[in-house]
Amino acid sequence: MFQMRGGLRLLTPLCQIHLALVDITRLLLSENSRTRVFIGIGTNVGDRSNYIDRALDELRLEDQIWIEAVSSIYETVPVGLQDQPNFLNGVIRIKTAVRPLNLLEILKRIEVQVGRQYRKRWGPREIDLDILVYGDLVLDHPLLRIPHPEMLNRQFVLQPLVEIQPDLIHPSCNQTIGQIVCHMATEIEKVSRERKNSDSRQ
């Protein structure tokens, strides 16, 4: 079973094959333990495109994060505090074995590495990375709420999401993002039509 050389045992090819199969099994188990996560990215200070590129580069350097897709980048007007520059926004789809609170720590660290300076809430920011959806998890923690509580109110989140994953099911309302966006568009059209009819009767 073993060859002896200089007092050391050398594994036979059969044992090497066995070890290789064990490694493959571990890899497959690792694949199955990964969760699909959607991260919102935004910036409205300085060289906005460069901040996005740097954040993506930092994410790619993380051992337990695999980027699957990046949406188009959309220029949007500010929400909340209006007196600030327009944002560039998008959504990143990743797979990861990192737990939600640990992932939050990684994202905050990347924000700092890229150059974020923390100002007042809703204020300008060099880079912003938010966990939007983490698999089918619903989490209400003092530091983190999943799904993101404001995502359904933000077109700059929904539009990139529907671009890269229209069949994503929102864990709280049990509808796909495509259905939610379609419903919102129908409601907007309905309100617009009702207002037009009301104006015509005056």
Is pLDDT larger for residue 13 or for residue 149? 149
Predicted pLDDT of residue 1: 42
Catalytic residue selected from 48, 54, 93, 116: 116
Dist. CA 155–CA 111, nearest whole Å: 23
Predicted pLDDT of residue 107: 97
Predicted pLDDT of residue 130: 96
Q: What is the average pLDDT across 43-69?
A: 94
CATH number at residue 132: 3.30.70.560
Catalytic residue selected from 128, 167, 199, 201: 128
Catalytic residue selected from 48, 54, 93, 125: 125
127 lies in a domain? yes
169 lies in a domain? no
Share of the chain above pLDDT 90, in %: 53
191 lies in a domain? no
pLDDT of residue 90 exceeding 50: yes
Predicted pLDDT of residue 52: 95
Other beta carbons less than 10 A from residue 93's beta carbon: 21
Q: What is the DSSP letter of 93?
A: E
12 lies in a domain? no
Q: What is the average pLDDT across 122-142?
A: 92
Active site residue 23: no
141 lies in a domain? yes
Predicted pLDDT of residue 13: 52
Active site residue 26: no
Q: What is the pTM of this model?
A: 0.77
With the C-alpha atoms ordered 76, 79, 84, 90, is the resulting torsion angle positive or negative?
Answer: negative
Catalytic residue selected from 36, 130, 136, 154: 130
Predicted pLDDT of residue 190: 41
For 143-195, the pLDDT digits (tens) are: 999 999 999 888 889 999 999 999 999 998 889 999 888 877 655 444 444 44
How much is the mean pLDDT over the chain? 81
Active site residue 128: yes
Look at the chain and report how many structural domains it folds into.
1
For 61-76, the pLDDT digits (tens) are: 999 999 999 999 998 8
110 lies in a domain? yes
Predicted pLDDT of residue 84: 84
Q: How far is CA 104 from CA 33, 46, 118, 132, in A?
A: 18, 24, 16, 11
Domain with 99, as residue range(s), is: 33-161
200 lies in a domain? no
194 lies in a domain? no
